[in-house]
Amino acid sequence: MSKINYNPALRAQYQYLFDTCIIKSEKYVTVDAVISKILTGKNRYETVGFPLNMPWYFIGIIHYMEGSCNFKTHLHNGDPLTAKTIHVPAGRPVGGSAPYTWEFSAQDALKLKKLEQWPDWDIAGILYKLEQYNGFGYRNLEHPIPSPYLWSFSNHYDKGKYVSDGHYDPNAVSAQCGAAVILRRFIERQLITGIIDRISLTRQLGQEVIFSPSKYATKAEQLQRWLVKLGAIIKIDGKAGPFTSDAYKNITGEYLSGDPR
């Protein structure tokens, strides 16, 4: 299976699919029931996500997709919290002792996939990590289809599904709501804001700034003031050098235009 790298073309594809996503009218009741189920665990998802700098709704969506929001099992694979995991990945979480709290084990599961290191929690970045969590197998088919793990219950998916490991049935239909559809409905209902807007605005400001360590630019100063507001420790001098570019990358996942790195 070929590696799928996150790049501007893939980011644009995710954004286009999300922007044009239409939830099938007959599925709204089911999708809203999923939303309600995830919302009941919001405080617990926030507890896990805050120290890892990841949005609670990403964790909630993963928990629903992988374990039907069951707080009695490991997020890794659904094994019971009364002991370390038996199935792959076995022997998790590291440290602690049974019985484990869901929060302790969930942080271990997310760190195992190095999600705490992921810098892009904008819509496209979230969709990439959601698809990666399940695997990119649908992109490697002879006739690729949008992954039902993301797009089931929307206009982007009709049929085709891996019914078991390595066995793809082109006529099987996913009965599970797609992760991107859940995210779309969260936003439609204005239940999540903030981090998506923050990253989008940062990227919007950065698109007008060219990497230039020695030349002052008003737009660069505006970007620096915004980055400092978000917690970056950089000098506000209007010169978009490597420290400014690093701070921009920490939020958007990419360096400023013209940065040779």
- Write the pLDDT tens digit of every residue in 116-157: 999 888 889 999 999 999 899 999 999 999 999 999 999 999
H-assigned helices in the chain: 8-19, 28-39, 42-49, 56-67, 102-112, 123-134, 148-151, 179-188, 195-206, 218-229, 242-252
The set of residues, in sequence order, having a beta carbon less than 8 Å from that of 159 and lying 6+ positions away, is 170, 171, 172, 173
Predicted local distance difference test score (pLDDT) of residue 250: 80
Q: Of 12-21, 95-104, 190-199, which one has max mean pLDDT?
A: 95-104
201 or 54, greater pLDDT: 54
pLDDT tens per residue across span 46-68: 999 999 989 999 999 999 998 99
Give whole-number Cα distances, 124 to 45, 99, 231, in Å. Answer: 21, 36, 23
What's the pLDDT at 139?
93
Q: If pLDDT is split at 50, 70 and 90, which confidence band does 197 have?
A: low
Whether the CB-CB separation of 208 and 231 falls below 8 Å is answered with: no
DSSP 147: -
Which pLDDT value is given to residue 196?
61
- pLDDT band at residue 200 under the 50/70/90 scheme: confident
Q: Record the pTM.
A: 0.74
The answer to whether the peptide bond before residue 99 is cis (omega within 30 degrees of 0) is: yes
The rounded distance, in Å, linking the Cα atoms of 103 and 111 is: 12
The answer, yes or no, to whether residue 1 has pLDDT greater than 60, is no
The contacts found for 6-11 with CB under 8 angstroms, 24 or more apart, are 6/120, 6/125, 6/128, 6/253, 8/254, 10/124, 10/128, 11/124, 11/125, 11/128
Residue 206, exposed/middle/buried by CB under 10 A (0-12, 13-18, 19+)? buried
pLDDT computed for residue 195 by the predictor: 59
User: DSSP labels for 202-235?
Assistant: HHHHHTT-B-BSSS--HHHHHHHHHHHHTT----
